[in-house]
Structure 1
């Protein structure tokens, strides 16, 4: 929410105002040259009309801003999410409602608001305007198309003098930054299966896991995050963990940030979808994106909604590394941190570019645990390198698949997890 009384007015002549002023100057000059007093009077009168319009506009705007000093903006939901609609409401309220001509001022006023193209997709916003005696409000929709932090506002008050010779756009209030989370796909069902089957994948067996002993049939009202998807699929009925502490194996998502814009946004969306879906199954998760791994804590101990918001907040400001070499250095650091967690039982999912030998050596210990999945990005130039990277990761124990940035994320995820049945 934003409230402000600050305003900046910018006035300009309309075509009519330019014409009247130019004619006044020309006629007045001709009157002086021709010694024709009437022409001088007409010229002076036309010029004075423009000046009077300016004085009227200045007084009218000052009067309005004294009586309607408050602009308040509310954005719902906040933060916004790519592809999900949001709503902005701007209210301009009077200081006192007893002024008899307040309604008239509001009736003549046109209001619009500025919003970054990333919040509207470049489309013109259409606002619904509501007027009362002491308040003017407008409400319009946003459809974010780009992750990041983008400007909304300020509101613009558009008005003119009674003769239409001057226009004024008065910025009212101030701009504010709005955070936009990446698009998140629901992968909860298959993410739960991956976490529930992690121990069985390591053993290479189809025998019941240790969690099976603590399962019971689903009852109405049970938390869906406690559903054991693997056993439910095997038995053909929905089963939940009767021990609330069962199935709390943590997970780490390694995000190797690419250089290209399309690949970057796709990768961040994929990583966020995987991490959020793991959280929704009740498991702690951390995101390693090249920042200091020491400060990348596992989220999920303080409630699902809080952890979800904290995780998505981490993705808002992510940007490509300066060079590919810098990205490889970040990836090696993330791999070292993930390797320590993998030895303690964590599940690891990595989204990476074709990797160099030293990066693959850093990732190899994680694959040896049998709880590691990798998505290797490729394009037309790097298809062979991506295939070679996936092959080396597979030999190290990873389950790896090669994708193109822009591929359907749920389909990629299903393909990757299907590999656990044939590994």
Structure 2
């Protein structure tokens, strides 16, 4: 069974641990047996001694039997699905198999789950026949993305007489991955999304590729029908023609994770909106056949650096899984003061097609760095989550001002800095969409398309 936790279990603390599992009934029988044996010795009553030995032996026999049979109970767990979006439910299936030759007593099943997934589930199971099994299930749900361990599974066994209870813990556990919520996006055409950058020849190559007629050296396994004899005679070594090498359209999703760039925390914070937006755009572009790369402000990329410059392969489902798993655990960067310069260095080393950035608050220096990123992209769209309106929706747009009040002078300065940053990015050629609390990504995505059409009309 997938997710099985093994059928033998661990021995615990031995027979002493089994004796500590005596119930109140078992302890009473044992005490009564000992008392009867003492009275029989004092009073000289052999019949009473036999009764005492029977009373004392019954719970001890139950302990020994239960101690031996607990190794023959197997437990398993299965998640459906193992990767779930935030605020969605997953179901956990538990299975208990009795692999011994005798039936079990009453079983209490308990699974350990993190508190963010809900209360700890407990189940009471009837006796399981030899070779039989029981299945139960429960649901988990989390508003916070992350990777959460489930388990280990705990099983409490009892004998048919209720004399002893033993708790068994399995060693294995499973992991539930809660990924960011992915918003379906409308199919729009953004500037540069299918063109890379540069002149028309480069743009054509980004979609169709060309037949590279420049020969290269022969490699083991090359088809001899591709040998370029003229070049072979010229260079004095075996040369072959290169086959057509198509260029997939590329998209880079830049996620700003600087702690000082975002206000608030929790599922409705600006940072969580940015993470969910990055996941939505990445999944949308993969569905459209793009090679997608996720780039962080600290310069790290997903997928990692490879021969294609860090862009994903052709399998969109695998690439989407890798990106979502990464975004499930992404947190604020631990490099204060580094800013976005490391991400700019990565972009400067190659050529991009479409660049989509999810940015927090930008000062003038960081806005200038982001503006220079536009030079290496055929098209650039920035979602800027600036302003303290993300601090608390209930408290109004500013933390110390009630709804309808006037912001403090310092807050006005922050808004002016945000507007200045947006203006600098637009002057650098970015399509900029300021994001406020409550804005939907799908509507902003369509608005970016309208901005593109407007810019193209102005250019003509």
Settle same-fold status: TM greater than 0.5. yes
Given the alignment of the two structures, is residue 319 of structure 1 paired with residue 331 of structure 2, yes or no?
Answer: yes
Query: For residues 331-360 of structure 1, what are the alpha-carbon distances to aligned partners after superposition, in whole Å with 9 as ceiling and x for unaligned?
Result: 22113323444xx35211111111133322
2:372 alignment counterpart? 365
Does structure 1 conserve the Cα–Cα contact (< 8 Å) formed by 2:196 and 2:378?
no
2:93 alignment counterpart? 89
Greater mean deviation of Cα atoms: 51-60 or 138-147: 51-60
Does structure 1 conserve the Cα–Cα contact (< 8 Å) formed by 2:80 and 2:91?
yes
| Matches for 1:197-276 after TM superposition, within 5 Å | 248-259=248-259, 260-262=265-267, 263=269, 264-276=271-283
**Structure with the higher fraction of residues in helix conformation:** 1
User: Partner of 1:179: helix, strand, or coil?
Assistant: strand
User: Partner of 1:309: helix, strand, or coil?
Assistant: helix
User: Of 328, 335, 339, which aligns to 2:344?
Assistant: 335
1:308 alignment counterpart? 320
Does structure 2 conserve the Cα–Cα contact (< 8 Å) formed by 1:257 and 1:327?
no
1:355 alignment counterpart? 362
> Structure 2 length normalisation: TM-score?
0.64
User: Partner of 1:115: helix, strand, or coil?
Assistant: coil
Query: For residues 111-154 of structure 1, what are the alpha-carbon distances to aligned partners after superposition, in whole Å with 9 as ceiling and x for unaligned?
Result: 23222234x34475779999664132424244441322211112
User: Of 107, 119, 136, which aligns to 2:133?
Assistant: 136
| Matches for 1:44-55 after TM superposition, within 5 Å | 53=59
1:210 Cα offset (Å): 7.3
Does structure 2 conserve the Cα–Cα contact (< 8 Å) formed by 1:336 and 1:362?
no
> Structure 1 length normalisation: TM-score?
0.68
User: Partner of 1:320: helix, strand, or coil?
Assistant: coil
Cα gap change, 1:395/1:117 in structure 2, threshold over 3 Å: closer, same or farther? same
- Could you tell me how far apart the structure 2 residues matched to 1:71 and 1:393 are? 57
User: Partner of 1:310: helix, strand, or coil?
Assistant: helix
Listed as ranges, the gaps of 5+ residues in structure 2 are 209-244, 260-264, 390-397, 399-410, 456-460
Cα gap change, 1:277/1:195 in structure 2, threshold over 3 Å: closer, same or farther? farther
Cα gap change, 1:421/1:58 in structure 2, threshold over 3 Å: closer, same or farther? farther
**Structure with the higher fraction of residues in strand conformation:** 1
Query: For residues 55-111 of structure 1, what are the alpha-carbon distances to aligned partners after superposition, in whole Å with 9 as ceiling and x for unaligned?
Result: 623531422323x3x333332333333334333333333446xx2x3xx31x63232
User: Partner of 2:252: helix, strand, or coil?
Assistant: strand
Given the alignment of the two structures, is residue 80 of structure 1 paired with residue 84 of structure 2, yes or no?
Answer: yes
1:281 Cα offset (Å): 0.5
- Could you tell me how far apart the structure 2 residues matched to 1:254 and 1:112 are? 43
1:231 alignment counterpart? none
CA RMSD of aligned residues (A): 4.5
- Could you tell me how far apart the structure 1 residues matched to 2:299 and 2:441 are? 27
1:273 Cα offset (Å): 0.9
User: Partner of 1:189: helix, strand, or coil?
Assistant: coil
Query: For residues 311-332 of structure 1, what are the alpha-carbon distances to aligned partners after superposition, in whole Å with 9 as ceiling and x for unaligned?
Result: 222223312223xxx2552522
Cα gap change, 1:338/1:348 in structure 2, threshold over 3 Å: closer, same or farther? same
- Could you tell me how far apart the structure 1 residues matched to 2:77 and 2:358 are? 39
- Could you tell me how far apart the structure 2 residues matched to 1:122 and 1:6 are? 28
Greater gyration radius: 2
Greater mean deviation of Cα atoms: 379-388 or 7-16: 7-16
